[in-house]
C-alpha cells in the first residue's frame, strides 16, 4: 500500500470496510496483488494506476483493494488459483475481479492501459446488465478453486516400498546436462531440489546424484543470477543458462541458498561452495539486516526506472574502472563492447571457476584470483555511487526463520561457530518480536507487528529452532520448538484429513481452506511440518507425531513418484524413512556444549544430534546423561549401540 499511496486510485486495504462498500453500492471489487520487488507490478502501476483517466473508471465502477502478497499469501493463493483456471498460467501483478462476496469473476496478470480500460468497462457492463451470468460464472470458478484446494487423500496402509531410486529417475529425466538444473526456462533456484540430490548421493553413495546437485550449484554461482560484486542471488534466470536474471533479490532465496551451499561444501570439501555461502551470508548481514537484528525482505529489480541498471555495466565503464586489468576481467566475465545483454550493457557471467578459467585463458591461477578480487572490489566502490534499488524493509517471520536455519547450518557445515552465536541471538529476536501467548504474527515494520501468522511461519520457525539447537546444543531451542509444534497442531491440523491448513482454524473464512503441499521455491508448510514432527518424535518420544508425518508422506507418495521436483522436500523425508534416522548423542560436561562437536565426524544428512548434560530434560537423553565420562551414543531409529569414548576427533576449533 505504501508504494501506491499517491495513486489516483482510491485503494482500500483487504478488510471489512472495502467489503461493506462493495455490498452497499453493489459494485464488483478489483483485488490487485503484487509485491515490492515485482518489476511488472511497477510497470502496470505506472501505466494504469498512476493514470488519471484509468483511475477514474476504477473508482467510479469498482471497489479497489491493494494487497501485498507477502503479507496475505492466503488471499494471494485463492486468486492465483482463479488466474490459473481462467488463463492456464499465473504471475504478478495478479488482478482479480470479484463479486461483492469475494468470489472471483475473472483474474489476470499484467495488462497495458488500453486493454485494462476495455476490460474494466466490459466487466462493469456485464455486472449491470447480466448479473446472474456473472454470479453463475463466479460460482463455477469458486468450485474449481475448491477442487484445486482439497487435501491429498489419505491411505491408511503405510507403505514400506522403497521408491527413492524411482524419484531420482524423474530428476534425471528433467536434468539439463549443459547448464544444470531443469531443462527449461525460466530457471528458479529451487533449493530443496538440489539439496535432495546431494542427500540422495550421500545416503545412496550415488555419484551421479551428487554430481547433478554440485554441477547445478556451480553453474548458478557462475551465472548472472549470482552477484559476484556484493554476493547474493537474484530471484530467477529468464533463460536456461542462468545468465539473465530477474534482478530482484529476495531474503527467502538467499537464506535457503546459504544453507544449500554450506551443505554442498560439507559434501564436496570444495572451497568454491564455501566462498559462495560465506559471501551470500555477508551480503545478507551487510545489506539486508535491520538494526534490531531481523532481516529485511527484498531489493527491487529496478533502479532509476530501469531493470538491472544497478547490477550491469557498459564496456566503457568497465574499462574506466578497471584500467589495464579490464581485458582479462572482461574475458573472464564475458563482457564485450556491444554488451552481452540489453542496451549495450553487460551482465557479469563467469566462464568457469577461476582454477579452470586460468587454464582456458592461459593465466597464472593466483594472478587471475587476485585480478578478479581486485576488480570486483573496484566495481563495488563504483557501484556504491549509483542509486540503489528500492528496499522492502518489512521483516517477514517465515523468511527470518529461513535465515535462522541458514545461520545454524552455516555454523555446522562450514565449521564457523560465530554463526551459531548469531543464530542463537536471532532466535531470541524472532521470538520476542513475533511470538506471544496469542500465537505468531506475520510481519513487522517500524516497530509495528501485524497479521496473524500462517502455517509456513509456524513450520519454518519450528524447523529453525530445531536446527539452531543442533548447532548450539542450547536446549531452550528444542523445548520451544516442541511448544510451538503443539500450538500448530492445535490451531492448524485437520484431524479428519491428516494435513495442516494454511490458515489457523480461527482465522478469516475464505472461499475454501487451502492445503499447502507443493514444494516450490520455498518448501510447503505441510512438508516442513512433516519433517518437524518426524524429528521431534525422536527427541520427545512422541510416537503419534511420527505416525502423523508418516501418514502425510504416504498420502503424497503417488505425487512424489510422478512429479518429484515439485515434492522434493517430501522426497527427502521418504529418503529418511528408507535409510533410517540416526540419533548421535554426546554426553559431556558444559565445556563441550559449544564445540559443534559431531557434525564433522558424522557427515550424514539423516542424523539428529544431541547433547546430554547432567541437567538435560529431553526424553531422548534419559539414561544417557553425563556422569563424569564424555561418551557418544550412536543410535538409529531409537536403537542404540554401546556408547563410545569421546575424544579429540570430534572437536572442532
Within a domain: 82? yes
Q: Rg of the Cα trace of the chain?
A: 26
- Per-residue pLDDT tens over the stretch 67-98: 999 999 999 999 999 999 998 888 899 999 99
Please name every residue paired with 639 in a beta bridge, in sequence order, or none if there are none.
Answer: 636
Q: Are residues 438 and 570 in the same domain?
A: yes
Beta-carbon contacts of residue 641 (< 8 Å; ≥ 6 apart): 633, 634, 635
What is the number of other CB atoms lying within 10 angstroms of the CB of residue 159? 13
Per-residue pLDDT at 597: 55
Q: Are residues 269 and 408 in the same domain?
A: yes
Within a domain: 158? no
> Going by DSSP bridges, is the β-strand pair 499-500/493-494 parallel, antiparallel, or unpaired?
antiparallel
Q: Are residues 268 and 252 in the same domain?
A: yes
> Count of residues for the chain?
653
Number of domains in the chain: 4
Domain boundary among the residues 563, 579, 595 is at 579
Helix, strand, coil percent content, the chain, rounded in steps of 5: 55, 15, 35
Q: Are residues 431 and 558 in the same domain?
A: yes
- Per-residue pLDDT tens over the stretch 200-247: 999 999 999 999 999 999 999 999 999 999 999 999 999 999 999 989
Please, what's the largest Cα pairwise distance for the chain? 85
Domain that includes residue 219, residue range = 165-301+392-579
**CATH number of the structural domain spanning residue 138:** 3.40.30.10
In a 3-state reduction of DSSP, which class is residue 108?
A: strand
Q: Are residues 502 and 557 in the same domain?
A: yes
Q: Number of helices and strands (H, E) in the chain?
A: 22, 25
- Per-residue pLDDT tens over the stretch 633-649: 989 988 888 898 887 55
Cα-Cα-Cα-Cα dihedral sign, residues 490, 492, 495, 498: negative
Within a domain: 154? no
pLDDT over threshold 90, residue 604? no
Per-residue pLDDT at 649: 57
Q: How far is C-alpha 170 from the chain's CA centre?
A: 22
Q: How far is C-alpha 118 from the chain's CA centre?
A: 37
Q: How far is C-alpha 186 from the chain's CA centre?
A: 17
Q: Are residues 636 and 490 in the same domain?
A: no
In a 3-state reduction of DSSP, which class is residue 535?
A: helix
Per-residue pLDDT at 546: 96
- Per-residue pLDDT tens over the stretch 391-421: 999 999 999 999 999 999 999 999 899 999 9
> Per-residue confidence at 652, pLDDT binned at 50, 70, 90?
very low
Looking at the chain, the whole-number percentage of residues with pLDDT higher than 90 is 82
Looking at the chain, the whole-number percentage of residues with pLDDT higher than 70 is 96
Amino acid at each position: 500500500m505504501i508504494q501506491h499511496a499517491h495513486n489516483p486510485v482510491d485503494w482500500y486495504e483487504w478488510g471489512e470496510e472495502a467489503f461493506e462498500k462493495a455490498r452497499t453500492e453493489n459494485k464488483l471489487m478489483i483485488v490487485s496483488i503484487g509485491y515490492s520487488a515485482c518489476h511488472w507490478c511497477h510497470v502496470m502501476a505506472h501505466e494504469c494506476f498512476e493514470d488519471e483517466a484509468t483511475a477514474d473508471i476504477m473508482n467510479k465502477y469498482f471497489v479497489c483493494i491493494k494487497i501485498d502478497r507477502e503479507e496475505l499469501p492466503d488471499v494471494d493463493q485463492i486468486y492465483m488459483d482463479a488466474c490459473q483456471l481462467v488463463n492456464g498460467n499465473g504471475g504478478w501483478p495478479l488482478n482479480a475481479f470479484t463479486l461483492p462476496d469475494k468470489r472471483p469473476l475473472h483474474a489476470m496478470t499484467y495488462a497495458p492501459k488500453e486493454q485494462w480500460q476495455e476490460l474494466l468497462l466490459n466487466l462493469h457492463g456485464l455486472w449491470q446488465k447480466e448479473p446472474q451470468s456473472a454470479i453463475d460464472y463466479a460460482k463455477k470458478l469458486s468450485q474449481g478453486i475448491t477442487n484445486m484446494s482439497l487435501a491429498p487423500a489419505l491411505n491408511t496402509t503405510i507403505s514400506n516400498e522403497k521408491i527413492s531410486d524411482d524419484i531420482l529417475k524423474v530428476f534425471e529425466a528433467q536434468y539439463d546436462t549443459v547448464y544444470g538444473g531443469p531443462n527449461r526456462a525460466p530457471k528458479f533456484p529451487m533449493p530443496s531440489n538440489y539439496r535432495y540430490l546431494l542427500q540422495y548421493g550421500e545416503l545412496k553413495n550415488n555419484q551421479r546424484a551428487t554430481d547433478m546437485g554440485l554441477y547445478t550449484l556451480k553453474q548458478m554461482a557462475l551465472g548472472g543470477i549470482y552477484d559476484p560484486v556484493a554476493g547474493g542471488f537474484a530471484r530467477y534466470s529468464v533463460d536456461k543458462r542462468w545468465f539473465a536474471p530477474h534482478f530482484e533479490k529476495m531474503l527467502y532465496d538467499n537464506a535457503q541458498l546459504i544453507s544449500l551451499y554450506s551443505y554442498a561444501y560439507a559434501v564436496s570439501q570444495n572451497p568454491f561452495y564455501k566462498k559462495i555461502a560465506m559471501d551470500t551470508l555477508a551480503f545478507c548481514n551487510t545489506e539486508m539486516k535491520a538494526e534490531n537484528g531481523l532481516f529485511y525482505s527484498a531489493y527491487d529489480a529496478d533502479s532509476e526506472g530501469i531493470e538491472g541498471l544497478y547490477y550491469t555495466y557498459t564496456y566503457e565503464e568497465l574499462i574506466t574502472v578497471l584500467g589495464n586489468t579490464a581485458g582479462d576481467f572482461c574475458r573472464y566475465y564475458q563482457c564485450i563492447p556491444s554488451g552481452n545483454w540489453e542496451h549495450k550493457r553487460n551482465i557479469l557471467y563467469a566462464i568457469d571457476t577461476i582454477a579452470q578459467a586460468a587454464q582456458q585463458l592461459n593465466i597464472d591461477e593466483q594472478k587471475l584470483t587476485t585480478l578478479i578480487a581486485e576488480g570486483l572490489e573496484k566495481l563495488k566502490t563504483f557501484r556504491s555511487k549509483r542509486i540503489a534499488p528500492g528496499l522492502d524493509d518489512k521483516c517477514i517471520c517465515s523468511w527470518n526463520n529461513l535465515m535462522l536455519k541458514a545461520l545454524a547450518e552455516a555454523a555446522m557445515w562450514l565449521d564457523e561457530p560465530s554463526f551459531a552465536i548469531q543464530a542463537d541471538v536471532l532466535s531470541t529476536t524472532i521470538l520476542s518480536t513475533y511470538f506471544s501467548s496469542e500465537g505468531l504474527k506475520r510481519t513487522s515494520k517500524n516497530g509495528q507487528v501485524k497479521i496473524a501468522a500462517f502455517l509456513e511461519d509456524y513450520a519454518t520457525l519450528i524447523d529453525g529452532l530445531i536446527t539452531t539447537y543442533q548447532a548450539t546444543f542450547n536446549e531452550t531451542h528444542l523445548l520451544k520448538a516442541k511448544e510451538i509444534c503443539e500450538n500448530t497442531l492445535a490451531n492448524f491440523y485437520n484431524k479428519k484429513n491428516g494435513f495442516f491448513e494454511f490458515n489457523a482454524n480461527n482465522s478469516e473464512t475464505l472461499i475454501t481452506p487451502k492445503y499447502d503441499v507443493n514444494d516450490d521455491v520455498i518448501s510447503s508448510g505441510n512438508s516442513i511440518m512433516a519433517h518437524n514432527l518426524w524429528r521431534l518424535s525422536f527427541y520427545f518420544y512422541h510416537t503419534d507425531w511420527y505416525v502423523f508425518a508418516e501418514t502425510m508422506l504416504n498420502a503424497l507418495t503417488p505425487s512424489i513418484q510422478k512429479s518429484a521436483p515439485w515434492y522434493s522436500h517430501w522426497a527427502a523425508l521418504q529418503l529418511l524413512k528408507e535409510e533410517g534416522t540416526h540419533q548421535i548423542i554426546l554426553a559431556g560436561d558444559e565445556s563441550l556444549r559449544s564445540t559443534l562437536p559431531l557434525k564433522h565426524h558424522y557427515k550424514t544428512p539423516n542424523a539428529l544430534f544431541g547433547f546430554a548434560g547432567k541437567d538435560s530434560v529431553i526424553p531422548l537423553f534419559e539414561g544417557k546423561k553425563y556422569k563424569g565420562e564424555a561418551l557418544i551414543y550412536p543410535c538409529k531409529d531409537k536403537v542404540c549401540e554401546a556408547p563410545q569414548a569421546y575424544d579429540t576427533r570430534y572437536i572442532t576449533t
